[in-house]
Structure 1
Amino acid sequence: MKQYLFYILFSFIFYSATAQQSISGKVQDKNSGKPLVGASITVSATQLGTVTDESGRFSLEVPTGSDSIYVSMVGYKFSRLALPKKSRDLTIALATENQALREVVVTGYETNRPLAETAGAIGLLNARDINRFSPATLVPALNTLPGVRMEERATGSYRISIRGSSLRAPFGVRNVKMYLNEVPLIEANSTIPVNLLDASTIGRIEVIKGPAGSVYGAGTGGTILLETARPKAGETSVDVGSLTGSFGLRRYSAAVSSATEKSGILVRYEKQKLEGYRAQSAMDRDVLLLSGQLFPSNKQVLSFHTYYSNLFYELPGGLTRAQYEANPRQARDLNVTNNSHIKLDAINIGIGHQYQFNENWSNTTSIFGVFSFFNNPFTADYERNTNQAYGGRTKTTYTTNLGNIASRFTLGAELSRSFTNSRRYQNNQGLPGRLNLDDEIVRQQGFIFAQAEADLPGNFIATLGASVNSLRYELNRLTDAVTSNIAIRNYNLDPQISPRVGLVKVFSPQVSAHASISTGYSAPTDAEVRPSNAGFNAGLKPENGINYETGVRGNLFSQKLVYDLVAFQFNLKETIVSRTIPFGNAGGTTTVFNNAGNTSQKGIETALSYAFIQAPLQTVSLLKLWSAYTYSHFRFLNYKQNDQDFSGNRLTGTPNHVLTAGLDAESRHGLYLNVTSNYTSEVPLNDANTFYADPFFIIGARGGIRKQLWQQWQTDLYAGIDNAFDKRYSLGNDLNAFGNRFFQAAPGRNLFFGLQLKYLIKAK
Structure 2
Amino acid sequence: MKYLPCALFLLIMADMIAQDTQKDSITRLDEVVLTQDAIPKKATGITISSKIAGQTFERFNPVDIPSAINQISGVYILSGAINTNRITVRGMGARTPYGTNKLRMYFNGIPVTNGTGSSTIEAFDFENLGAVEVIKGPKASAFGANLGGAILLDTKASVQNRTQLINSFTIGSYNMLKDNLTFSHSEDGLDMSLSYNHLETDGYRQNSQFQRDGLLLNTKLRTGQKSSLALLINYIDYTAHIPSSINLTDFEEDPTRAPSNWFESQGYEANKYILTGLSHSYQFSEQLQNTTSVFYTYLDHYEPRPFDILDEFTNGYGFRSHFTGNWGKADISFGGEFYRDEYHWGTFENLYQENNGNGSLQGSQLSDNSEFRRQFNLFGTFTYPITERLSGQVGLNWNKTHYDFRDLFGDGSDNASAKRDFDAILLPNAGLSYQIKNGSIYANVSRGFSNPSLEETLTPGGVINPDIAQETGTNYELGTDWMLLQKKLSVNLAAYRMDVKNLLVAQRVGEDQYIGRNAGKTRHQGVEVDLLYRGKLSPAITFSPYLSYTLNDHSFVDFVDGDNDYSGNPLTGVPKNRLSSGIDFRHSNGLRLNLTHQFVDEIPMTDSNSITSDAFNVFHAKLGFRTSLSSNISLGMNAGINNIFDINYAQSVLINAVGFGGAQPRYYYPGNGRNYFGGLQLNYVF
Same fold? TM cut 0.5:
yes
Residue 637 (structure 1) aligned with residue 567 (structure 2): no
Matches for 1:702-741 after TM superposition, within 5 Å = 702-739=622-659, 740-741=665-666
Candidates 279, 290, 303, aligned match of 1:376: 303
Q: For 1:296-345, what per-residue CA distance to the aligned partner results, in whole angstroms no more than 9, with x for missing partners?
A: 23423322210000111111122121221111111111112232211111
Secondary structure (helix, strand or coil) at the match of 1:255 reads strand
Change in 2 beyond 3 A, CA 1:364/1:123: same
Matches for 1:55-70 after TM superposition, within 5 Å = none
Candidates 561, 568, 571, aligned match of 1:648: 568
Distance 1:699 1:74 in 2: 29
Name 2:361's counterpart in structure 1. 431
Secondary structure (helix, strand or coil) at the match of 1:128 reads helix
Name 2:477's counterpart in structure 1. 549
Distance 1:196 1:167 in 2: 21
Name 2:11's counterpart in structure 1. none
Pairwise CA distance, 1:626? 0.5
Name 2:118's counterpart in structure 1. 191
Question: Does structure 1 retain, via aligned residues, the 8 Å contact 2:334–2:381?
Answer: yes
Candidates 401, 420, 432, aligned match of 1:471: 401
Pairwise CA distance, 1:237? 1.0
Pairwise CA distance, 1:33? 14
Distance 2:457 2:347 in 1: 16
Pick which of 425-434 and 366-375 moved more.
Answer: 425-434
* 2:452 partner letter: P
Name 1:683's counterpart in structure 2. 603
Candidates 372, 375, 392, aligned match of 2:319: 392
Question: Does structure 2 retain, via aligned residues, the 8 Å contact 1:167–1:578?
Answer: no
Change in 2 beyond 3 A, CA 1:530/1:271: farther
Distance 2:244 2:173 in 1: 21
Question: Does structure 1 retain, via aligned residues, the 8 Å contact 2:341–2:373?
Answer: yes
Name 1:754's counterpart in structure 2. 679
Distance 1:191 1:107 in 2: 21
Question: Does structure 1 retain, via aligned residues, the 8 Å contact 2:47–2:140?
Answer: no
Distance 2:83 2:458 in 1: 24
Question: Does structure 1 retain, via aligned residues, the 8 Å contact 2:169–2:179?
Answer: yes
Change in 2 beyond 3 A, CA 1:533/1:207: farther
Matches for 1:31-42 after TM superposition, within 5 Å = none
Pairwise CA distance, 1:280? 1.1
Residue 224 (structure 1) aligned with residue 151 (structure 2): yes
Name 2:5's counterpart in structure 1. none
Candidates 738, 742, 747, aligned match of 2:667: 742
Candidates 586, 601, 605, aligned match of 2:528: 605
Distance 1:219 1:187 in 2: 14
Distance 1:35 1:435 in 2: 61
Name 2:509's counterpart in structure 1. 581
Change in 2 beyond 3 A, CA 1:628/1:238: same
Pairwise CA distance, 1:535? 6.0
Q: For 1:456-479, what per-residue CA distance to the aligned partner results, in whole angstroms no more than 9, with x for missing partners?
A: 114111110111110000011110
Name 1:249's counterpart in structure 2. 176
Residue ranges of structure 1 left out of the alignment (5+ in a row): 1-31, 41-50, 52-71, 76-98, 112-117, 583-587
Change in 2 beyond 3 A, CA 1:484/1:285: farther
Secondary structure (helix, strand or coil) at the match of 1:732 reads strand
* 1:149 partner letter: Y
Q: For 1:393-413, what per-residue CA distance to the aligned partner results, in whole angstroms no more than 9, with x for missing partners?
A: 112234122xxxx10222211
Name 1:321's counterpart in structure 2. 248
Distance 1:147 1:452 in 2: 27
* 2:338 partner letter: L
Residue 201 (structure 1) aligned with residue 124 (structure 2): no
Pairwise CA distance, 1:484? 6.4
- The ranges of structure 1 where at least 4 consecutive aligned residues each deviate by more than 6 angstroms after the TM superposition are 32-40
Distance 1:522 1:370 in 2: 22
Question: Does structure 2 retain, via aligned residues, the 8 Å contact 1:589–1:738?
Answer: no
Question: Does structure 1 retain, via aligned residues, the 8 Å contact 2:145–2:447?
Answer: no
Candidates 194, 198, 220, aligned match of 1:293: 220
Pick which of 199-208 and 426-435 moved more.
Answer: 426-435
Pairwise CA distance, 1:709? 1.2
Q: For 1:127-160, what per-residue CA distance to the aligned partner results, in whole angstroms no more than 9, with x for missing partners?
A: 2211221111211100000000012112421111
Candidates 429, 433, 443, aligned match of 1:515: 443
* 1:491 partner letter: R
Name 1:48's counterpart in structure 2. none
Name 1:58's counterpart in structure 2. none
Pairwise CA distance, 1:614? 9.3
Name 2:343's counterpart in structure 1. 420
TM-score where L is the length of structure 2: 0.91
Q: For 1:646-679, what per-residue CA distance to the aligned partner results, in whole angstroms no more than 9, with x for missing partners?
A: 1111111100100111111111111011111001
Candidates 502, 513, 516, aligned match of 1:593: 516
Q: For 1:520-550, what per-residue CA distance to the aligned partner results, in whole angstroms no more than 9, with x for missing partners?
A: 1111123433688856555432110100000
* 1:467 partner letter: N
Pairwise CA distance, 1:289? 0.4
Pairwise CA distance, 1:638? 1.1
Change in 2 beyond 3 A, CA 1:535/1:319: farther
* 1:709 partner letter: L
Question: Does structure 1 retain, via aligned residues, the 8 Å contact 2:371–2:404?
Answer: yes
Residue 269 (structure 1) aligned with residue 170 (structure 2): no
Pairwise CA distance, 1:753? 0.8
Secondary structure (helix, strand or coil) at the match of 2:652 reads coil
Change in 2 beyond 3 A, CA 1:464/1:38: farther
* 2:322 partner letter: K
Q: For 1:99-142, what per-residue CA distance to the aligned partner results, in whole angstroms no more than 9, with x for missing partners?
A: 9xxx995211x23xxxxxx343x211112211221111211100
Question: Does structure 2 retain, via aligned residues, the 8 Å contact 1:569–1:600?
Answer: yes
Name 1:106's counterpart in structure 2. 41
Name 1:26's counterpart in structure 2. none
Change in 2 beyond 3 A, CA 1:614/1:416: farther
Secondary structure (helix, strand or coil) at the match of 1:106 reads coil
Matches for 1:76-225 after TM superposition, within 5 Å = 105-108=40-43, 110-111=44-45, 118-120=46-48, 122-212=49-139, 214-225=141-152
Secondary structure (helix, strand or coil) at the match of 1:479 reads coil
Distance 1:37 1:752 in 2: 26
Distance 1:407 1:272 in 2: 48
Pairwise CA distance, 1:723? 0.6
Name 1:499's counterpart in structure 2. 428
Question: Does structure 2 retain, via aligned residues, the 8 Å contact 1:436–1:480?
Answer: no
Change in 2 beyond 3 A, CA 1:189/1:338: farther
Distance 1:318 1:339 in 2: 14
Name 2:579's counterpart in structure 1. 659
Distance 2:392 2:26 in 1: 38
Pairwise CA distance, 1:488? 3.0
Change in 2 beyond 3 A, CA 1:160/1:202: same
Question: Does structure 1 retain, via aligned residues, the 8 Å contact 2:262–2:305?
Answer: yes
Pairwise CA distance, 1:225? 0.5
Q: For 1:579-612, what per-residue CA distance to the aligned partner results, in whole angstroms no more than 9, with x for missing partners?
A: 4332xxxxx4433332211001110001001111
Question: Does structure 2 retain, via aligned residues, the 8 Å contact 1:263–1:293?
Answer: yes
* 1:206 partner letter: E
Question: Does structure 1 retain, via aligned residues, the 8 Å contact 2:47–2:139?
Answer: no
Matched-pair identity in %:
27
Change in 2 beyond 3 A, CA 1:298/1:709: farther
Name 1:619's counterpart in structure 2. 540
Distance 1:356 1:470 in 2: 30
* 1:746 partner letter: G
